[in-house]
Amino acid sequence: MTAMSDGDTTQTDEDALGTERQVEAAERAALELANVDEAARDEALHAIADGIRERGDEVLAANAADVEAAEAALERGEYSQALVDRLELDDAKLHGIAEMVESVAGQADPLGETLAARELDDGLDLYEVSVPIGVVATVFESRPDALVQIAALCLKSGNAAILKGGSEAGESNRVLHEVVVEATRDVDGVPEGWAQLVEAHEAVDRVLALDDEVDLVMPRGSSEFVSYVEDNTQIPVLGHTEGVCHVYVDEAADLAMAEDVAFDAKVQYPAVCNAVETLLVHEAVADDFLPGLVDRYEDAGVELRGDAATRAVVDVGEATAADWETEYGDLELAVKVVEDVSDAVRHVNEHGSKHTESILTEDDDNAAAFMQGVDAASVFRNASTRFADGYRYGLGAEVGISTGKIHARGPVGLDGLTTYKYYLEGDGHVVASYSGEDAKPFTHVDFDGEWRPGDPDRP
First to last CA, the chain: 69
Q: What local confidence, expressed as pLDDT, does residue 4 receive?
A: 42
CA angle 100, 104, 110 (to 5 degrees): 160
Query: Per-residue confidence at 1, pLDDT binned at 50, 70, 90?
Result: very low
104's CB contacts (< 8 A; 6+ apart) are 45, 152, 153, 156, 396, 397, 414
pLDDT confidence of residue 410: 73
What domains sit in the chain, N to C, each tagged with a CATH number?
16-231 (3.40.605.10), 245-390 (3.40.309.10)
Amino acid at 83: L
d(CA 359, CA 345): 10
Nearest alpha-carbon partner for 289 in 306, 313, 309, 266: 313
Determine the 3-state secondary structure of 195 from DSSP. strand
In angstroms, the CA 429 to CA 426 distance is 6
* Minimum mean pLDDT range among 247-256, 367-376, 401-410: 401-410
Closest listed residue to residue 240, CA positions, set 342, 377, 336: 377
Q: Which residues have a Cβ under 8 Å from the Cβ of 270 and sit 6 or more positions away? A: 82, 328, 329, 330, 331, 332
- Burial of residue 266, with CB atoms counted within 10 A of its CB: 0-12 exposed, 13-18 middle, 19 or more buried: buried
DSSP 89-150: --HHHHHHHHHHHHHHHTSPP-SS-EEEEEEEETTEEEEEEEEE--EEEEE--S-THHHHHH
Rounded CA separation 282/313 (Å): 13
Per-residue confidence (pLDDT) for residue 129, from 0 to 100: 94
Q: What is the pLDDT of residues 186-214, one digit of tens each?
A: 999 999 999 999 998 889 999 999 999 99
- Residue-wise pLDDT tens digits, 261-279: 999 999 998 988 899 999 9
pLDDT class of 134 with cuts at 50, 70, 90? very high
Report residue 242's pLDDT band, with 50, 70 and 90 as the boundaries: confident
458: three-class secondary structure by DSSP = coil
pLDDT score of 458 more than 60: no
Q: How confident is the model at residue 9 (pLDDT cuts 50, 70, 90)?
A: very low
Q: Which carries the bigger pLDDT value, residue 297 or residue 452?
A: 297
Q: What residues are paired with 402 via a beta bridge?
A: 410
Average pLDDT over the chain, rounded to an integer: 91
Residue 198's SS3 state is: coil
> 455: how many CB neighbours lie within 10 A of its CB?
11
| The predicted structure's pLDDT at residue 16 | 72
Could you report the per-residue pLDDT of 279-333, keeping only the tens digit for each?
A: 999 999 999 999 999 999 999 999 999 999 999 999 999 999 999 999 998 899 9
Q: Which amino acid is at 292?
A: G
Could you tell me if 248 and 348 are in contact, meaning their C-beta atoms sit under 8 angstroms apart? yes
Sign for the CA dihedral angle at 225, 230, 235, 240 comes to: positive
Task: Read off the pLDDT band of 3 (50, 70, 90).
Answer: very low
- The per-residue pLDDT for range 342-361, each reduced to its tens digit, is 999 999 999 998 899 999 99
Cα(307)–Cα(325) distance, integer angstroms: 14
The backbone torsions φ and ψ at residue 334, rounded to the nearest 5 degrees and listed phi first, read -100, 145
Q: Is the pLDDT of residue 69 over 80?
A: yes
Report whether 379 contacts 357 (CB < 8 A). yes
DSSP 221: S
Q: What pLDDT is attached to residue 451?
A: 92
pLDDT at position 58 over 50: yes
Q: Per-residue pLDDT for 59 more than 60?
A: yes
Q: Could you tell me if 27 and 160 are in contact, meaning their C-beta atoms sit under 8 angstroms apart?
A: yes
pLDDT of residue 453: 75
The Cα 401–Cα 146 span in angstroms is 12
* Residue 370's pLDDT band (cuts 50, 70, 90): very high
DSSP assignment letter at 240:
B
Q: Give one DSSP letter per residue of 403-436, joined into a string.
A: -S-SS--EEE-TGGGEEEEEEEE-SS--GGGGSS
What's residue 237's pLDDT?
Answer: 87
What pTM was computed for the model? 0.78
Dist CA 18 CA 20 (whole Å): 5
pLDDT tens digit sequence for 401-414: 777 767 777 777 78
User: Does the pLDDT of residue 108 top 70, yes or no?
Assistant: yes
